[in-house]
Amino acid sequence: MEWGEIVSYAWWTFAFRWLHVIFGIMWIGHLWYFNFTQTPTMPKIPQELRPGVARYILPEALWWFRWGAMLTIISGLILAAFEKKLVGVITIGLNTSPHIASNASLGIGMWLGAIMWFNVWFIIWPGQKKNLGLVQCTPEEKARATRIAGLASRVNTLLSIPMLYGMTSVHFY
Amino acid sequence: MKNPLDSLTQTVVLGFVLTVIMVLVIHAIAA
């Protein structure tokens, strides 16, 4: 097999699907870690040990979480462009007649992913910056920002279930 | 009334309910 055949258009399409899955696991893995493991466990951790989570684990996890989200959406858009599906998925399959079910499924999944990405970068991360003390604020503002960030994280956990249906059902439709 | 998002179980159940609605929407678009 020639090198040119290996690194072909089809290979690049596959490579971006592979990267999209890697970055997606990085993102959703951390989202589920926060919601399924860290948040429910925090009340059970002795008070004197809790700063260890807040000062060392949470900032590191949030870094991988938000950049995982960024690289997931970038690699997903590049993948859709490589597959010549970008317009089809953005319009959730309504740009053609008859409408294409796989574009509807993937498109709804993509829009849910886009909402989740927005939540990460514009609600959760700004809220966590106040929670971690990276941004100066009053105790009331900190409590409110932490609560909103927590709810946005729960919304993302909720949306991750239909989002993953949209992403993985494309070969079914 | 308690916010269902405060419960992890209810959040996951709502995720599956939303998935069913999404499947119905996909079928409606493709019909």
Q: Is residue A67 part of a domain?
A: yes
Mean pLDDT of A156-171: 96
Q: How confident is the model at residue A85 (pLDDT cuts 50, 70, 90)?
A: very high
Task: Choose among A75, A71, A52: nearest CA to A63.
Answer: A71
* Shortest alpha-carbon distance between residue A98 and chain B (Å): 7
In the numeric block, which tokens belong to residue A96?
Answer: 């053609």
Residue A100 forms contact with B (CB below 8 Å):
yes
pLDDT digits (tens, 9 = 90+) for A90-114: 999 999 988 999 999 999 999 999 9
pLDDT above 80: residue A63: yes
Q: Is residue A112 part of a domain?
A: yes
Q: Is residue A131 part of a domain?
A: yes
Q: Is residue A17 part of a domain?
A: yes
Mean pLDDT of chain A, nearest integer: 95
Longest dimension (CA), chain B: 38
Chain A neighbours among B 12-31 (CB < 8 Å)?
12, 14-16, 18-19, 22-23, 25-27, 29-30
Beta strands in B1-31 (DSSP E): none
Range of the domain at A135: 3-168
**Could you give the number of structural domains in chain A?**
1
What is the reported pTM? Answer: 0.94
Q: Is residue A158 part of a domain?
A: yes
Q: Give the position of tokens 């070969």.
A: A171
- What is the predicted pLDDT for the residue at B31? 82
Range of the domain at B25: 1-31
Give, as one character, the DSSP assignment of residue A55. Answer: I
Rounded-to-integer distance, Cα A41 and Cα A154, Å: 15
Nearest CA in chain B to A35: B8
Burial class, A10, CB count within 10 angstroms (exposed 0-12 / middle 13-18 / buried 19+): exposed
**Could you give the number of structural domains in chain B?**
1
Q: Is residue A173 part of a domain?
A: no
